Amino acid sequence: MSWLIVAGFLTFFLGLALSIALHELGHLIPAKLFGVRVTQYMVGFGPTLWSRRRGETEYGLKWIPFGGYIRMVGPFPPRPDDGGKLRSMPTGPWQGLIESARQASLEDVRPGDEDRVLYRKPWWQRFIIFIGGPLMNFVLAFALFSLVFMGFGIEVTKPTVAKVSECVMTLAQEAQGQKCGPSFKPTPAAQAGLRTNDTIVSFAGRPVRTWEDATRLIRSHGAGPVAIGIVRDGKSTTLNATLIAQDRPSLADPTKMDKNVGFLGITPLIVVEKQGPGYAVGRMWDMTARTAQALVQFPQKIVGVYEAAFGGAERALDSPQSVVGAGRLGGEIAASKLPLEGKIAMFLTLLGGMNLAVGMFNLVPLLPLDGGQIAGALWEGLKRGYARVRRRAMPGHVDIAKALPLTYGVVAVLFVVFGLLIYADIVNPIRLTG
């Protein structure tokens, strides 16, 4: 079994490396189309594992597979107040840092590259170059989710009876696995004569098309008599039931309870069905919105990760995790007792979710993330558009080098956060099963 865990872990990292390569390809293709000289295309960080030069670009793999980059010449403009030349003696520690970065960025600029440096490209070209990476993640996520939804299918809950509960129990009794006895009252479904494979088509005169329709109508009805339209063995009939009121877990938040909702006492049928393109588009939109919401709540969730890592608190299932934690989940999927198709579907879902999260995270408007470069390009476009409308002199290029002190601060914070996530994924990981 251990070899399956290792195989799943390695397979996940292979998928991660492919995702990183495609992300960087999203930057590389428009950069080359717009004439920017790209000196390196690398998957990973640290020492180089393998590389090969094609034309003016070196393509390679590095040992640490937690990211990647392409190196474009001239990301920072020279200081305009020195005739395009850099100061030899910068003043102040931050100014010295900025000027050193400028100098390093111009070292790769060769004679004839004046129109091939990144900072001189129009703002809209820079926008396309840097949006290309996150966009590639979104496209990959959509492709993976669509493959799962349309190729493998998803579990769909039908308004068809899979099981009729014989007696009424409390949630605590259900959790303890108690069996029905003489002291237990029969459920409304058992009293009404509902049977396995009966399909509910109406409830209190209202049509029922999905299990969600049935659940909503049952709960909102509360206690009391009701007519239930069903189809049994291809024939339509109506049964009369008397619902009782119970406290049941909330449909919106299972950690909360809905008081005195209607209770019938049936378990619905769950089947696997392949979905169409419309479903895939709708779910992708919903998952993107959920991912954006989770990103907004990220600081709050990091507090929970810290408490789980150092305080022994239970790790929430929706807790953020590192690629190490995602790799562990990949190993658990491979070692699970699911059929092969189920394992592949879960693995593709995991990889799709990771791409969606990476794409969304990279849109945060802070350097060194792609969002910082995107924000700089948009700001330059806004300034130039304003100058054009007001017929003023065209402003210079946005100097993102001035944001380098903040960038180093962001890098330090990300280093600490990702270190915490890796540690938590080792000592208190998210697991598929208890």
Catalytic residue set: 24
Axis-axis angle for helices 277-296, 340-361 (nearest 10): 50
Radius of gyration of the chain (CA): 29
CA dihedral 219, 223, 225, 228 (to 10 degrees): 20
* CA distance linking residue 58 with residue 350, whole number of Å: 31
CA 309 – CA 298 distance, rounded (Å): 16
Rounded Cα gap, residues 47 and 58, in angstroms? 14
Rounded to whole angstroms, the Cα distance separating 276 from 266 reads: 29
39: which residues sit within 8 A by CB, 6+ positions away?
A: 56, 57, 58, 71, 72, 73, 108
How far apart CA 319 and CA 298 sit, in angstroms, is 9
Measured in degrees and rounded to the nearest 5, phi and psi for residue 51 equal -155, 155
d(CA 275, CA 146): 9
Report d(CA 94, CA 156) in Å as an integer.
Answer: 58
Query: How far, in Å, CA of 28 to CA of 42, rounded?
Result: 11
Q: Return d(Cα 372, Cα 381) in angstroms, integer.
A: 14
Helices and strands (H, E) in the chain, number of each type: 12, 9
| 57 secondary structure, DSSP code | E
Q: Is 109 in contact with 73 (CB distance < 8 Å)?
A: yes
